[in-house]
Chain A
Amino acid sequence: MSMTVAGVLFIVSLLAALAVAYRYFGDYMYRVVVGARHSLAERGIYKILRVNPEGEQSWKAYAGSLLAFSAISLLFLYALLRLQHVLWPNPNFPGVTDHVAWNTAVSFVANTNWQAYSGESTMTHLSQMAGLAVQNFVSASVGVAVAVALVRGFARRKSGTLGNFWVDLTRITLRIMLPVAVVATVALVIGGVVQNFSGGHDVTTLTGGTQTITGGPVASQEVIKELGTNGGGFMNANSAHPFENPTPWTNWIQLFLILLIPVSMPRVFGRMVGQNRQGYAILAVMGILAIASIGLTNVFEIAGNGTVPHAIGAAMEGKEIRFGVSDSASFGAITTLTSTGAVNSFHDSYTSLGGMMPMINMMLGEVAPGGVGAGLYGMLVLAVITVFVAGLMVGRTPEYLGKKIGAREIKFASIYFLITPATVLTGVAAAMATKNHTTMLNVGPHGFSEVLYAFTSAANNNGSAFAGITVNTGWWDTALGFAMLLGRFLPIIMVLGLAGSLAAQQPVPESKGTLPTHRPLFVGMLVGVTVVLVALTFLPALALGPLAEGL
């Protein structure tokens, strides 16, 4: 098979599988979040947490519970990492240094999974499993819960409550994340991913040197890394490592897992608001942006502008032979379109414009289809802003799904939209102004791209690295930690505030004067608003990085 045919087949089969998942897995998730029954295990958990599962929460209570849960997670994870050397089982690793522990704890609690460390040489199996893997599950569930709460805001009428955070968290973890993770782990192990508790074997290589072959519970970690759009790999090399992602087949599974929940979320949205077509419209927006982005990344990479790519015939630097250019480019685009920090190739080595695409994907706010839950709520906030401008143009107070978008709603949506660009741009400017950019590997525009990528990835909770820049200094760990923390939780508070104010409203019945939000016109406008707003915000910065380099 030629490279292009293989690439096309790969994408087509992936899309087909996702289409099936949208319909059936989406419906399954819908039933999980709206169902009335509690399983035995869930009731047990509620008893331990002293939570009344029937007790509904206002948006403030919901946000309070979420923040409390995340704060406790953060402290627990920080303590675990600092103390891992005294805990069992320990394959002789020291405790994690303070700034790396802070950075890592924030990173995993914020569903970012930026890794300022090499997993296989820093983290004990206990830290990996009880610390990082647990957060991989629950931080993802938190994202889904927030999205569900926002959709309840649209679906409910004159309601003061948005559901119960603890119930959402428990159900999503136990009924969605866990079962899929178990099944997918088996699939990955069959595909050749390592799953053991080995402390590592020293082997003598062909050239006579010694190499430590690290084992560990890789497959199980790998699954939730992708399913929860986390991206924190067991190994430093992440999905490029042959133990994490040995074949194109496992690569396919990994991509499917990454996209499974984000792509199915619009279905949950459509079902909950009682209009499947609204879900299709949101999915269409995500799809158009994703396909355009994946296509462009492939074009830039396959065209391979640059001296070395021209010499060797393709932009193969930093890519694994077993994946090739196209699979690598698609993986790079998809992981950044979602909030998965996984990489199977090195974005720093992409062509200039090819390397710009992952950045743009993240700058879009990771909404196409985005992180688990985060993608949907990000897209719905953009839809609210679009509805506002479009709604005025049809001569009515703008309304989305019958809910009026007034001053209060716009306040929440605007602040949501402000936070990430503000964090990214301030971070980059601070790095430049304080000369902390000197740790970057390259100079000039490419070096600048490395800095821009780091903050974009952190503030958007992606977690992938452009690589090429040394970021485990105290300044970088601390700054990126704050970027991740702000980029995750401030928007969540805004989303819940928006949900609360929507839920309290009595919906306006639909009429011919209502702006239809399920038609191609609106889909196109939402795509346009997303792209234009991002372009306007980041164009100057991009001009000094990848554009200066690539044009």
Chain B
Amino acid sequence: MTATTTSGAQRRIGGGLLDPKQLWKSLPAALAKLDPRTLWRNPVMFIVEVGAVFTTVLAIGDPTLFAWLITIWLWLTVLSANLAEAVAEGRGKAQAASLRAAKRDTMAIRLTEWTPGQDQSRYRDEVVAAADLRLGDIVVVAAGEVIPGDGDVVEGIASVDESAITGESAPVIRESGGDRSAVTGGTKVLSDRIVVKITQKPGESFIDRMIALVEGASRQKTPNEIALNILLAALTIIFLLSVVTLQPMAIFAKAFQGAAPDTAAINGDGISGIVLVSLLVCLIPTTIGALLSAIGIAGMDRLVQRNVLAMSGRAVEAAGDVNTLLLDKTGTITLGNRQASEFLPVEGVTPETLADAAQLSSLADETPEGRSIVVLAKQDYGLRAREEGLMPNAQFVPFSAETRMSGVDLTDRRIRKGAASAVMKWVRENGGHPTEQVGDTVDAIAGSGGTPLVVAEHIEGEPARALGVVHLKDVVKAGMRERFDEMRRMGIRTVMITGDNPRTAKAIADEAGVDDFLAEAKPEDKMALIKKEQEGGRLVAMTGDGTNDAPALAQADVGVAMNTGTSAAKEAGNMVDLDSDPTKLIEIVEIGKQLLITRGALTTFSIANDIAKYFAIIPAMFAGIYPSLDALNIMRLSSPESAILSAVIFNALIIIVLIPLALRGVRYRPSSASKLLTRNLWIYGLGGIIVPFIGIKIIDLIIQGIF
């Protein structure tokens, strides 16, 4: 699996390299694909095969070296195309094999008449084969056992080894209720015992679908692929007509120049069949025709390599078209939790005092916020965390929703930290008068989108006083701003979804650099936003994991469900991210774009190639009749035969040469459409015109001795 770093400008879509051994290994599969019954689905290559059969017959009838060489290279052209597809499929097959290993013949313990909360001793169970489980069956899985099918945990909590499908060896927690209830068949329970309700039909498990996907068995052509196929078919028909109608014209020309000597290309009966087929094969868009399906398979494969399963190729293409990305704030844009970023003491209090008090009050606070205070105090003021045991008299006051404070009571000193209003109230109750400065600081922090925590102390015999404010804030993940800038350059609008109030949301949105935000968002709001965007003709992508995300996931054009999420969410989305990393949505978009770009670039290249081939073949065919046409032989190819053969050989070799590019995808840097087009036009358009001139000339130089 390819490692991808997810930060900074270095992160680029790559792909596996092509191992020459893979070509060799795929040869049997490529040969099997010569069967016309499978090949006819690719009209361009089917025409080449028909041409190859035709020239074979001609070569048997009139066995010349030229005829046989052309025939061999025509067959190699078809074979190259098959090889490209076979190699692309081969990579998926390896993955499928490891998945199949996970799909062993497991037995399941099915509970009959189970009711929630039922005591374990009253279970009535029976042992059935996993394959016989039906939708809605209840099974119990204990530690060390393999989960027999996809389902939701309805009772219990367990750590599960999901490495069979995710490749990630660290176990994950699965529990009933909540958004981490989904379990996948084939994964293994490591500890505890869970009761699972089966949510799949027999033979339609997640692993079954995964195997089908990576093998390409269920591959259907995507909308753009269908459209491109139509265009390629139309071009093929045009060139077929050009070539077929050329014959009577050539016969007329030959008859007119009766004195011109017969050549291998043309005689009184017209152009030889071998040469006509060669011309046709060189003109029809064989390069893209040969590589088109490999590009599609490889695109899906690149997703699989990133542990994303797309349920359809259509979804991958849609990802490239996405106009709006909905991103959950927590976990995607920001690190999971708020963190202390600053101590702001009131006048007369040193920062160290405040930090010390804040740290003391947080020692027993196991929330991420509390721990971040301890970390900050140590980092900024060198205050080491005191062990709880070292303060025997300390009474820790835990946070409660009622008091909205937590703190510690020492022998002669009480410290509280918490929501501003609650702590201020506590100060006043204990005889203190918080200065205005505290209020101002609190407002300033709240205004900047942070969360203020006021710290106060009450020393025995003195009025309580506020020491200052701890600034808690959401920490935006590193590199997010750059990624959103990239998105903007690609023309994609990013919208942050958060339950925060609008002020906080705005501050984080500004810091992260997203284009828009939806604050105080409820699931219905998300749904409404998606619908609104779609009404404007935009395509929306989102990630989600909870059951309440399911309708929005289904509504979105690209819905990426987290593997940790509920079955409902996984069912509703059209992709599943096995790593459960919401940032991956951005990579998915890039892969979708790269897939389309690769198709477009190779189509352009393929069509541009024809120009050079004409300059090789037309003079080779007709210069014997009309010597002036030799002026078109600008490559100065040595003989008509070597010119035609060189064009045919180039046509076959270029397919092999481009297989790695088709599998890897063309290089993609997020940038505006104009920049992308300029770059790709130069490389694949201009390159497509020039490369064959050079290639055909070189091949001609090598083979010219033969004729």
Interface residues of A (CB under 8 A from B): 385, 388-398, 402, 405-407, 409-411, 414-415, 417-418, 421-422, 425-426, 428-430, 432-433, 437, 443-445, 447-448, 506-509, 511-516, 519, 521-522, 525, 528, 532, 535-541, 543-544, 547-551
Cβ–Cβ contact B248 & A396, under 8 A: no
- Chain A CB within 8 A of B239 CB: yes
Cβ–Cβ contact B257 & A513, under 8 A: no
Sampled A-B contacts (5; CB under 8 Å) = A388-B228, A393-B601, A395-B594, A532-B611, A543-B618
Decide: A514 near B610, CB < 8 A? Known: A429-B248, A508-B538.
no
Q: How far is the CA of A422 from the CA of B244 in the complex (A)?
A: 11
Cβ–Cβ contact A428 & B245, under 8 A: yes
Tell me the chain B residues, 219-262 only, with Cβ under 8 Å from chain A.
223-224, 226-228, 230-231, 233-234, 237-239, 241-253, 256-257
Q: How far is the CA of A516 from the CA of B681 in the complex (A)?
A: 14
Q: What is the minimal beta-carbon distance from A297 to any residue of chain B, in angstroms? A: 20
Nearest A residue to B489 by beta-carbon distance? A512
Q: Which of A397, A406, A432 contacts B249 (CB 8 A)?
A: A432
Cβ–Cβ contact B593 & A388, under 8 A: no
Q: What is the minimal beta-carbon distance from A139 to any residue of chain B, in angstroms? A: 27
- Chain A CB within 8 A of B478 CB: no
Nearest A residue to B590 by beta-carbon distance? A395
Q: How far is the CA of A391 from the CA of B632 in the complex (A)?
A: 33
Decide: A410 near B230, CB < 8 A? Known: A393-B601, A394-B673, A428-B249.
yes
Q: Which of B233, B490, B539, B629 contacts A547 (CB 8 A)?
A: B629
Cβ–Cβ contact A433 & B248, under 8 A: yes
Q: How far is the CA of A412 from the CA of B239 in the complex (A)?
A: 18
Decide: A551 near B283, CB < 8 A? Known: A392-B228, A410-B230, A512-B488.
no
Which 3 residue pairs spanning A and B have beta carbons closest together? A392-B600, A513-B491, A395-B593
Q: How far is the CA of A516 from the CA of B674 in the complex (A)?
A: 7
Interface residues of B (CB under 8 A from A): 223-224, 226-228, 230-231, 233-234, 237-239, 241-253, 256-257, 279, 283, 317, 320-321, 323, 488-493, 535-539, 592-594, 596-597, 599-601, 603-604, 607-608, 610-611, 614, 618, 622, 625-626, 628-629, 631-632, 668, 672-674, 676-678, 680-681, 684-685
Cβ–Cβ contact A551 & B242, under 8 A: no
Q: Which of A395, A425, A447, A550 contacts B245 (CB 8 A)?
A: A425
Decide: A407 near B631, CB < 8 A? Known: A506-B537, A540-B246, A544-B250.
no
Q: What is the minimal beta-carbon distance from A123 to any residue of chain B, in angstroms? A: 34
Cβ–Cβ contact A407 & B253, under 8 A: no
Report chain A residues within 8 Å CB of B677.
Answer: 390, 393-394, 515, 521-522, 525
Q: How far is the CA of A535 from the CA of B615 in the complex (A)?
A: 12
Q: How far is the CA of A66 from the CA of B607 in the complex (A)?
A: 36
Decide: A532 near B632, CB < 8 A? Known: A432-B249, A444-B257.
no
Report chain A residues within 8 Å CB of B618.
Answer: 539-540, 543
Report chain B residues within 8 Å CB of A443.
Answer: 256
Q: Which of B228, B231, B253, B492 contacts A544 (CB 8 A)?
A: B253
Cβ–Cβ contact A513 & B224, under 8 A: no
Q: Which of A385, A392, A426, A548 contacts B626 (CB 8 A)?
A: A548
A409, A421, A544: which has the most chain B beta carbons within 10 Å?
A544
Decide: A514 near B673, CB < 8 A? Known: A395-B594, A395-B596, A417-B234.
yes
Cβ–Cβ contact B234 & A415, under 8 A: yes
Q: How far is the CA of A146 from the CA of B643 in the complex (A)?
A: 46
Cβ–Cβ contact A396 & B320, under 8 A: yes
Q: What is the minimal beta-carbon distance from A49 to any residue of chain B, in angstroms? A: 37
Cβ–Cβ contact B249 & A429, under 8 A: yes
- Give 17 A-B pairs besides A390-B677, A541-B246, A543-B626 with Cβ atoms closer than 8 angstroms: A389-B600, A392-B599, A393-B601, A393-B680, A394-B597, A396-B320, A407-B226, A417-B234, A418-B237, A421-B238, A428-B249, A448-B253, A507-B537, A508-B537, A509-B323, A513-B492, A513-B673
Cβ–Cβ contact B536 & A509, under 8 A: yes
Q: What is the minimal beta-carbon distance from A135 to any residue of chain B, in angstroms? A: 31
Cβ–Cβ contact B604 & A515, under 8 A: no
